[in-house]
Amino acid sequence: MKGPFSDLGVSGQLELTFYNDRLMDAQFTPSESERYFRLLSKRLGKLPETPGQPQRISAEVSLSYYRDANGNVRFYWDFLPVSKEWKDWVAKYSLVFSPS
């Protein structure tokens, strides 16, 4: 699912990914990434200075952020139990072919 969203008074684009009808991850691309980063840091505590480093914000959720080539920042919340279940399913049912 994808659509417009506002968090902490900052508008942007929200994308939700579900696995087995449960929320697995949420990605938010704010229109004002620097302002959102400051507001989110104030709410959650200091965020990692380097993009791509996940930080546990609860027992079941990690948060990371990424900067794309256009300079947009995407914040990524990973719901760990559902994500683990999906990764386990992929590992069990994916086939890896080796060249003969």
Per-residue pLDDT of the chain (100 residues; tens, 9 = 90+): 899 999 999 999 999 999 999 999 999 999 999 899 999 999 988 888 788 889 899 999 999 999 888 888 999 999 999 999 999 998 888 876 555 5
Q: Is residue 94 situated within a structural domain?
A: no
Reduced to 3 DSSP states, what percent helix, strand and coil does the chain have, rounded to the nearest 5?
A: 25, 40, 35
Domain hosting 11: range is: 2-83
pTM of the model: 0.84
Q: Is residue 91 situated within a structural domain?
A: no
Domain count, the chain: 1
Alpha helices in 1-100 (DSSP H): 33-44, 80-93
Q: Is residue 100 situated within a structural domain?
A: no
Which residue type is seen at 83? S
The single residue listed with the structure tokens 């959720």 is 61
In angstroms, what is the C-alpha Rg of the chain?
A: 16
